[in-house]
Structure 1
Amino acid sequence: MAIEKLLQKIESKEYTIGIVGLGYVGLPLMWTFHSNRMPVLGFDVDENKVNCINEGRSYIKHLGDKMMGELAGSALCDATTDFSRLPEADAVLLCVPTPLDQHREPDMTYVVNTTETVAKYLREGQLVILESTTWPGTTEELMIPILEKASGLKAGKDFYVAYSPEREDPGNADFNTAKIPKVVGGHGEDALKLATALYDTSIVQTVPVSDTKTAEAVKITENVFRAVNIALVNELKVVYDKMGIDIHEVVEAAATKPFGYMKFTPGPGLGGHCIPIDPFYLTWRAREFEKNTRFIELAGEINTNMPEYVIQKTAMALNKHKKALNGSKVLVIGLAYKPNVDDMRESPTFKLLDLLKENGAETDYYDTYLPLITPTREHAEWTGTKSVEWNKEVIASYDAVLISTNHSDIDYRELIQWSDCIVDTRNSFKGIEERFEGQITKA
């Protein structure tokens, strides 16, 4: 089909968008296109997610029930586990995981398997866009050969390929998918035109770049920037703590400078689907070009070691109460990797739980967003563990409470009343901690 006809189809909103992977990226993307009256067809191997969409039941807490109800009641939206329906879509957007394997190298299994499935049903005129964060060169060197070999079609001639990295920030009330500019790189001019026109229907701004590997590098750069700066404040936290200086007070005061400084806050370690993983995609790729990424590797080392520092501070806090970590009961507050979301991917809380257990502590956790630990790739031993109840009798039974994630639904004043030993990694008691000297240890 001629590019002009495809562009007209987008403009007239008769262009069906297929989204593969209906998780924290794919579901908001589905909603964004649907909100702009674009027909959307969602694909996922998880039958529960598909049923939730079609029945209007929420499975990502911070997105709410209203969104799901509107998707379920719309003639413009459908979800399915039947990938033979892929030819119904004019554009196929891949929103699948890109984790690291046990050797901290890119695990492209999801991208490869999904691309092979798309290739099986690929038809002329379709646009295929990868949104998953990955190493520069993935689209050209990995995806396109798979699509061409299996389909017998030629990219840029018979079908089109682009890359546009997701920029989701789960739980951010100020920026949803529609409000975040979209970087777009195409395999050729026609692919770029199509992908740009597609996102222009629903996203506040598109940012075209010269090719797919540049777009892939943009996403990696964004997350490397964050990882390095978080590592910096984490390192400063350790140094300033020895000097008797509160890193949080330093960061807040520094943030008043209107230029030349950007605020980053320290924590117990990195979590989420981006920062703990994405920089290592570039590290891995750079080795192919005989280049070292010393900044990235140093940042990774600092951030990875933060849970150890937190456990040391917990042991010191217990020691003030004449108790040892070995044999103590410790409650970890917050399983999610960030406040006010039900997302536990790469959460540093898992590492804290592991370290506490290794040091002989009896551990539990509290998190209303994640009342049950579901199966994970790396922490199977915690599967089925339930959050404890929030009441005075339960909380007071612990020798120490360790705050890993500072959800806003936690009553911190009650916590102060119920626990004599609190280790706070998130500055949760800002403004009131001075009245409880000795009770709260910042870590």
Structure 2
Amino acid sequence: MPADLAVIGLGPLGLPLARAATAAGISTVGYAPDPHAAPLTAPDGPLTATELRRLTAAGFRTTDDPAALGRVRTAVICAPTPLGADRALDLTAVADAARTLAARLRPHTTVVLESAAYPGTTEDFLRPLLEEGSGLTAGRDFHLACSPPRHDPGNRTHGYANTPKVIGGLTPACTEAAAAFYGRLTDKVVRARGPREAETAGLLETNYRHLNIALMNEMAVFCHDIGVDLWDVIRCAETKPFGFQAFRPGPGVGGHAAPVDPNYLAYQGRSLGYPLRMVELAQEVNDRMPGYVARRCATLLNEHGKSARGARVLLIGVTYKPDIGDQEGAPAREIAARLMELGAHITYHDPYVPRWTVLDRPVPRADSLHESAADADLTVLLQPHRTYDLQGLSVKAQLLLDTRGATPAGAAHRL
């Protein structure tokens, strides 16, 4: 059965889009090339049987048959673009999606890139693949646009409908075609001058977050060294009604949106010849935080007459964000690995993670949070899921390190 929309890639970007489109009454097909994969898992957890039935009844279906891509009005590429070993975005999945779509692309289709990308990806990388594979010309035979991702997993305030969507088309007509589609999903559409401006807006949003988190992570180390309560400093500073936005430190930065130096255009093999130093420095600072947390753990144990070797350490919350099950880039694994290398015995608790491995070894999962915290020599709060009773935890734990500033003031050692 033909659909109005094809979502190519049903991961952390594609599934939320498919949910929103289906809820808006748009007949949607989700294309996943691997029929044996488990595509229906978003960052906030797998679809329940009830939600899957509801989506299916509303017109959503999944397929591994690329022929379905040739029968839609709009196709949105939501393929993953992870960072490679050289910290450049890997566009392999985008290229695969483009080639698959191009072979079935029909005139008048609107194609949108939602995957995280460099400035220029839509025009210089995606467009040639689509045109070569289809024999059609973008901007004349089909519409091409970019709309950078803005989905925030676990956010109960801002969802698809009330988060403005930035759109930049190859031509004004391309922009309007994409705007007409997204206008059915969101309350506000923001038109960029073109795809490069839209791509760069997404890049700016991600780098802005990482730069400010890096600043707070540096302040956390600095304030600890001089004996200042950073969390109280933030509480005071955020009362300023202008010129300040509160960010908070943490054990590291995870997730699918990593800071990217846009001057390293790997797919073209060229660069402007200089880095974005602020972005590089922010990544260095944030990458140091898991090691810093492990050292704080060892120091706390030592201050309380215990060695890290043989210590029982309970890690609480091992996902990259609260209230979701996604572990992409979460600092918990590196922290656990460093503590294990020091000889500590690690257990974990996370309601969203039934099984967890570190250094290719399964980590024991604590059944009872408060009982396990009472037995552990050190409990480390890495992610404050809403289900946690942090007041009770602070009472039960022998020794508690709070890396998120989520426990009551004075109830724990804070980052």
TM-score range, shorter chain: over 0.9
The offset of 1:372, in angstroms, is 1.8
Output the CA distance in 2 between the equivalents of 1:290 and 1:105.
Answer: 15
Residues 391 and 136 (structure 1), Cα distance of their counterparts in 2 relative to 1, 3 Å cut: closer
Distance 1:313 1:51, change over 3 A: closer
- CA offset at residue 66 of structure 1? 5.6
* Structure 2 equivalent of residue 228 of structure 1: 211
User: Aligned equivalents of 1:273 and 1:296: distance in 2?
Assistant: 16
Q: Please give the residue correspondences for 1:246-325 in structure 2 after superposition, counting only pairs within 5 Å.
A: 246-274=229-257, 277=258, 279-285=259-265, 288-325=271-308
- Deviation sequence 1:391-422 (CA, Å, 0-9, x none): 55433332211111111211223323432111
Determine if the alignment matches structure 1 residue 116 to structure 2 residue 99: yes
The CA distance in 2 between the partners of 1:50 and 1:241, in whole Å, is 44
State the distance in 2 between where 1:48 and 1:169 align: 27
CA–CA separation in structure 2 for the residues paired with 1:50 and 1:389: 27
Sort the Cα spacing of 1:336 and 1:113 in 2 relative to 1 into closer, same or farther, 3 A.
Answer: same
Taking structure 1 as reference, are residues 111 and 213 closer, same or farther at Cα in structure 2, changes over 3 Å only?
Answer: same
Aligned-residue offset at 1:68:
3.2
Going from structure 1 to structure 2, the CA distance change for 1:299 and 1:60 (only over 3 Å counts) comes to: closer
**Aligned counterparts of 1:51 and 1:300: Cα–Cα separation in 2:** 30
Alignment pair present for 1:381 and 2:365: no
The alpha-carbon deviation at position 164 of structure 1 amounts to: 0.4
Q: Which residue of 2 aligns with 1:336?
A: 319
Whether 2:112 is the aligned partner of 1:129: answer yes
2:373 to 365, 389, 395: 395
**Corresponding residue to 1:71 among 36, 50, 55:** 55
Q: Can you list the C-alpha shifts for 1:174-232, whole angstroms capped at 9, x where unaligned?
A: 11111110000111122111001111122111111111111000000011111111111
Structure showing the higher helix proportion among its residues: 1
Q: Does 1:350 align with 2:345?
A: no
- State the secondary structure of the residue aligned to 1:268: coil
How far off is 1:255 after superposition?
A: 0.9
CA distance in 1 between counterparts of 2:190 and 2:310 reads 55
Alpha-carbon offset, residue 296 of structure 1:
0.7
* Residues 283 and 338 of structure 1, relative CA distance in 2, 3 Å threshold: farther
1:45 deviates by 3.3
Any conservation in 1 of the 2:263–2:272 contact (CA below 8 Å)?
A: no
Structure 1 residue matching 2:262: 3-state secondary structure? helix
Q: Please give the secondary structure, in 2, of the residue aligned with 1:178.
A: coil
Letter in 2 for 1:422: L
Is the 2:261–2:280 Cα contact (8 Å) retained in structure 1? no
1:51 shift after superposition:
8.1
User: Are the counterparts in 1 of residues 354 and 365 from structure 2 also a CA contact under 8 Å?
Assistant: yes
- Please name the residue that 2:10 is paired with: 22
Residue 442 of structure 1 corresponds to 414
What is the aligned partner in structure 2 of residue 5 from structure 1? none
Matched residue, 1:11: none
- The alpha carbon displacement at 1:371 in A equals 1.4
TM-score by length of 1: 0.87
Secondary structure of the residue aligned to 1:280 is coil
1:177 to 150, 160, 164: 160
Secondary structure of residue in 2 paired with 1:396: helix
TM-score by length of 2: 0.93
Residue-by-residue CA offset, 1:56-100 (whole Å, 9 max, x unaligned): xx99438766643420222x2222122221111111101111111
- Cα distance, 1:426 vs. partner? 0.8
For the residues of structure 2 that align with 1:69 and 1:405, how far apart are their CA atoms?
31
For 2:360, the aligned partner's letter is: E
Q: Is the 8 Å Cα contact of residues 147 and 167 (structure 2) preserved in structure 1?
A: yes
**Identity of matched residues, %:** 34
| Residue matched to 1:419 | 397
Contact 1:134 1:281 in 2 (8 A): no
Aligned partner of 1:108: which letter?
L
| Structure 1: tracts of 5 or more residues without a match | 1-13
1:9 paired residue number:
none
Paired AA for residue 441 in structure 1 = H
CA distance in 2, matches of 1:385, 1:73: 40
| 8 A Cα contact 1:22 1:49, kept in partner | no
Rounded Cα–Cα distance in structure 2 between residues aligned with 1:294 and 1:46: 39
* Matches for 1:213-224 after TM superposition, within 5 Å: 213-224=196-207
Change (3 A) 1:210 1:38: same
Report if aligned partners of 2:10, 2:39 keep a CA contact under 8 Å in 1.
no
Give how far 1:270 is off.
Answer: 0.3
* Residue-pair matches, total: 411
Amino acid in the other structure paired with 1:170: P
Q: Does residue 31 of structure 1 match 2:15? A: no
CA contact (8 A) 2:3 2:29 kept: no
